[in-house]
Amino acid sequence: MFAYIVRRLVLMLVTLFGISVIIFVLLRIVPGNIVDILFAAAGYVDPADKANLERELGLDQSIVMQYLHWIGGLLRGDLGYSYVSEKPALDEILPRIPITARLAGLALLFSASIGIPLGVISAVNQGTRLDYILRIVSLSGLSLPSFWLGLLILMASVALFGTMPIFNPNPQSFGEACAIYCVPALAVGFRSAALVMRITRSSMLEILRQDYIRTARAKGASERAVNYHHALKNAILPVITVIGIEAAFLVGGLIVTETVFNIPGVARFLVEAIRWRDYPIVQNLVMLIALVVVVANFTVDMLYAAFDPRIRYTD
Amino acid sequence: MDAINYDTELRRAGAHSTHGWRKFTFLAQRHMLGTIGLVIMVMFVLAAMLADVICRVSPLTVDSAHALSAPNAQHWMGTDSFGRDVWSRIIHGARISLAVGIGSTALGSSIGVTIGLASGYLSGWVDLVCQRIVDILQALPLLVLALVMAAALGPSLPNTIIAIAIPLIPTVARVIRANTLALRELAFVEAAKSIGMSEMRIALRHVLPNTLAPLIVLATAQLGAAILTEASLSFLGLGIPEPYPSWGRMLSESAAEYVRTAPWLVIFPGVAISLAVFGTNLLGDALRDILDPRQRG
Dump pLDDT digits (tens) for B227-253.
999 999 999 988 888 778 899 988 886
Residues of B within 8 A of A148 (CB-CB) are 251, 266, 269-270, 273-274
Q: Which of A121, A291, A142 is nearest to B141 (CA)?
A: A291
Q: Most A CBs within 10 Å: which of B136, B265, B268, B289, as the mutation test of the A interface?
A: B136
Mean pLDDT across chain A, nearest whole number?
85
Residues found in chain B: 297
- Could you give the CA distance from residue A251 to residue A84 in angstroms, rounded to a whole number? 23
Mean pLDDT across chain B, nearest whole number?
85
- Could you give the CA distance from residue A250 to residue B4 in angstroms, rounded to a whole number? 36
Sign of CA dihedral B36, B40, B43, B49: negative
| Spatial contact of A201 and A116, defined as CB atoms under 8 Å apart | no
- Could you give the CA distance from residue B112 to residue B76 in angstroms, rounded to a whole number? 43
Least confident of A9-23, A141-155, A239-253, B178-192: A239-253
CB contact set of B122 (below 8 Å; sequence gap of 6+): B199
**Residue A45: is its pLDDT beyond 70?**
no
Band (B205; pLDDT cuts 50, 70, 90): confident
Q: What is the mean pLDDT of residues B198-202?
A: 85
Q: Which of B102, B24, B62 is nearest to B286 (CA)?
A: B24
Amino acid B33: pLDDT: 83
For every residue of B7-66, DSSP letters joined together read HHHHHHTT-S--SHHHHHHHHHHH-HHHHHHHHHHHHHHHHHHTHHHH-SS-TT---GGG
CB contact set of A275 (below 8 Å; sequence gap of 6+): B151, B237, B238
Band (B297; pLDDT cuts 50, 70, 90): very low
Nearest CA in chain B to A144: B274
Nearest CA in chain A to B238: A275
CB contact set of A179 (below 8 Å; sequence gap of 6+): A165
Position with higher pLDDT, A9 vs B27: A9
**Residue A56: is its pLDDT beyond 80?**
no
| Spatial contact of A44 and A79, defined as CB atoms under 8 Å apart | no
**Smallest Cα distance from A273 to chain B, Å:** 11
Residues of A within 8 A of B251 (CB-CB) are 147-148, 151
Q: What is the mean pLDDT of residues A217-243?
A: 84
CB A306: neighbour CB atoms within 10 A? Answer: 9
Q: Most A CBs within 10 Å: which of B236, B271, B288, as the mutation test of the A interface?
A: B236
**Residue B171: is its pLDDT beyond 60?**
yes
Which of A74-78, A81-85, A286-290: highest mean pLDDT?
A: A286-290
Q: Most A CBs within 10 Å: which of B40, B97, B148, B149, as the mutation test of the A interface?
A: B148
- Could you give the CA distance from residue A251 to residue A172 in angstroms, rounded to a whole number? 27
- Could you give the CA distance from residue B206 to residue B204 in angstroms, rounded to a whole number? 6
Percent of chain B at pLDDT exceeding 70:
90
Position with higher pLDDT, A178 vs B46: B46
Amino acid B45: pLDDT: 93
Q: What is the mean pLDDT of residues A64-72?
A: 86
Q: Indicate yes or no: CB of B251 within 8 angstroms of CB of A151.
A: yes
Q: Is residue B216 exposed (0-12), middle (13-18) or buried (19+ Cβ within 10 Å)?
A: middle
pLDDT tens readout for residues B176-199: 998 888 888 888 888 888 898 888
Position with higher pLDDT, A65 vs B136: B136
Q: Indicate yes or no: CB of B132 within 8 angstroms of CB of A15.
A: yes
Position with higher pLDDT, A53 vs B146: B146
pLDDT tens readout for residues A183-209: 899 999 999 999 999 999 988 988 888
Q: What is the mean pLDDT of residues A230-243?
A: 84
| Burial track B171-194 (b if 16+ CB lie within 10 A, e otherwise) | bbbbbbbebbbebbeeeebeebee
Amino acid A19: pLDDT: 93
Q: Which of B102, B108, B228 is nearest to A255 (CA)?
A: B228
Amino acid B225: pLDDT: 92
Least confident of A12-21, A119-128, A227-236, B103-112: A227-236
Q: Indicate yes or no: CB of B270 within 8 angstroms of CB of A270.
A: no
Q: What is the mean pLDDT of residues A90-109?
A: 91
Percent of chain B at pLDDT exceeding 90:
36
**Residue A313: is its pLDDT beyond 70?**
no
Omega before B263 cis (within 30°)?
Answer: no
- Could you give the CA distance from residue A115 to residue A118 in angstroms, rounded to a whole number? 5
Q: How many CB pairs under 8 A join A and B?
A: 142
pLDDT tens readout for residues B127-170: 999 999 998 998 899 999 999 999 888 888 999 999 999 999 99
CA-based radius of gyration for chain A: 24
